[in-house]
Structure 1
Amino acid sequence: MARFMSRVWCKVESTGRHLPIVLNAFLVFSITAEVSYLVLVEAPFEPAEKKTEWSTIWKAMHLFAQYFMLGNITWNASLFVKTNPSIRGVFLGGDVLGQGWRYCYSCETHTPPRCSHCHDCNVCVLRRDHHCVFFGRCVGFRNYRYFLTCLFFMWAGLLYAVVMNAEVFIVILKEGVTFHSVMLLLMPWIMLVSGQVTARAFAFAFIADTCVVGFLLVAAFLFFHVVLMLRGQTTREWYSTRKPYSLGVLANIRECLGKYWYICWLCPLIPSPLPGDGINFKVTGPLEPKK
């Protein structure tokens, strides 16, 4: 019985780890499908513009932009998950230990500066920033570029979806703001359960609300990590108010995005080698927190 319960618990735990990734993917593709429908069927929103030549060009441009962002999101997310930022398979320098090195009792090895142990991944991670719950992977030295660019295109895609849904509701509200339309936007679940709206209207309202909430959350998260990148810090260093590894704005960007930082964000396949090795860092300030 104990063995059976242990197996069940292991399966539940494994499913729980992948659940955020599944929900994330479901939301991304649901939003993409909804916006594609708006572009192909509903837009342009003015009846006089629907049969013009510009309408076809407008739709093609919007679909290209939408699927370009979707491709970047999925590709960067895939590379982020596949890229291992841990110390596994990395030669850490043998007996030559410098300032900032520590001993990890879990991994039973000395670890370099800015490296810390992740209890979720059960391994030390080079230049560890944080453990990303949505992807089940730590953000670290090798995969920070993919994490940041994925975050950027998620923000851009949600902004695009918010604008498209806003145009739809502006057309609806031109006919008059009613209590029914306001309640549909604010509480679509209640309206659906009470039988006040159709499943189609609920789906549009729910996805529109999800886009707005998601846009605000991703925008805040993206802004925070852009600030960290410009300051040459990790999340852990931000909390301790330390900035000992800042090399200047451009050098800090290159440390995160690589040599070709100005273009690599357009496509994850563009090679952009990182200037360091994730083990040795140039110290430009005090390592200890300010008192």
Structure 2
Amino acid sequence: MFWKKRYSELLSSIFFLSMIIIVFIFEVFVIRPYLLESNVSNFVTLHLFMAIVLLTNTCLNLYLVVHTDTSIIGMVMPSITPLPPQWHYCYACESNTPPRSFHCKTCNRCILRRDHHCVFTSCCIGYKNYKYFMGLLFNVGFACTYATIMHWHYIWLNINHLGLWAIAAHSVPLGFYLLGMIDLWTTCCNIISMLCIVGAIFASGLFIYHFNLLRMNRTTYERAKSIADYDLSDWRRNLSETLGDRWLLSIFLCPLIKSSLPGDGVHFQTKQEKYLQNKQI
């Protein structure tokens, strides 16, 4: 079962990366010349610039998500007994693990502030790579939306028909191709367009979902179990707990902009601790 999971994740990752490259090639080498022929040369330069920036940011975020170690490996955990509240012992890692950390059977290690295991990146999303994951979702969602807007006229012009038939041919292009109703090039263009639409909806929806979780300082598990112990009652503070102090620039502009995390992924201030601290002041 283990190798099957890894094999399926490998295919998902290859598909994800391939679609990023294919959409970029389509926008630069098909849509850009089309725009140039449409006498909008000033916009063509902007389109090329946007395509390069979005591809670069997407690939950088993807690389940082995968190569940022967010596990407990290399960290010295306390060996005291009994364990502090919300700490637990992991028999697989043979180590005490801090609150909000869980063992991932696929990664075979405990992940700091584990949220979920992402099949498209083949790694867990946790404390140290969450901001890059959010940057990846934003850039993919924005890039797919932008690409859809830019190639929309070309796609419909290529179908050369308006109405329900065109919508159907755009939605299920492979079926129409097998029936001989559209040619191969139109089929490929429609598939790319549909992938952009689905990607825009999927990535944007996930970004909104996870942003809402971070706004309340929750993980997916904590939301499912209705755990709100770490909600500091300040959405800005909650966001900076996982995304860092410069998350706006890091997520929306460039992942290389440093956004330092306030903690170490082991110790988290709870709502009760914040209340007692404010009460003493």
Q: Same fold (TM over 0.5)?
A: yes
1:245-264 aligned within 5 A: 245-247=230-232, 248-264=234-250
Structure 1 unmatched ranges of 5 or more? 1-8, 287-291
- Tell me whether 1:83 sits opposite 2:68 in the alignment: yes
Q: Write the deviation string for residues 250-269 of structure 1: whole angstroms up to 9, x where unpaired.
A: 11111122122232222122
**CA 1:285–1:241 in structure 2 vs 1: closer, same or farther (change >3 Å)?**
farther
Cα separation, 2, equivalents of 1:179 and 1:15: 39
Cα separation, 2, equivalents of 1:214 and 1:280: 36
Query: Which residue of 263, 271, 278 corresponds with 1:276?
Result: 263
Tell me the equivalent position of 1:5.
none
Structure 2 unmatched ranges of 5 or more? 274-281
- Tell me, yes or no, if the aligned pair for 1:39 and 1:62 is still in contact at 8 Å: no
Query: What amino acid maps onto 1:111 in structure 2?
Result: T
Task: Give the TM-score normalised by structure 2.
Answer: 0.88
Q: Write the deviation string for residues 214-242 of structure 1: whole angstroms up to 9, x where unpaired.
A: 21111211110010111101111010111
Query: Which residue of 21, 28, 38 corresponds with 1:29?
Result: 21
What is the root-mean-square deviation of aligned Cα atoms in Å?
2.3
- Tell me, yes or no, if the aligned pair for 2:107 and 2:124 is still in contact at 8 Å: yes
Cα separation, 2, equivalents of 1:170 and 1:237: 45
Query: Which residue of 195, 206, 211 corresponds with 1:221?
Result: 206
Aligned residues: 270
Cα separation, 2, equivalents of 1:271 and 1:20: 29
- Tell me, yes or no, if the aligned pair for 2:111 and 2:124 is still in contact at 8 Å: yes
Cα separation, 1, equivalents of 2:98 and 2:4: 35
1:1-291 aligned within 5 A: 15-43=7-35, 49-50=38-39, 55-95=40-80, 97-169=83-155, 171=157, 176-177=161-162, 180-247=165-232, 248-265=234-251, 266-285=253-272
Cα separation, 2, equivalents of 1:94 and 1:11: 33
Cα separation, 1, equivalents of 2:115 and 2:5: 24
Cα separation, 1, equivalents of 2:201 and 2:6: 30
Counterpart of 2:106 in 1: which secondary structure? coil
Task: Give the TM-score normalised by structure 1.
Answer: 0.85
Cα separation, 1, equivalents of 2:208 and 2:271: 24
* Aligned sequence identity (%): 29
- Tell me, yes or no, if the aligned pair for 1:85 and 1:126 is still in contact at 8 Å: yes
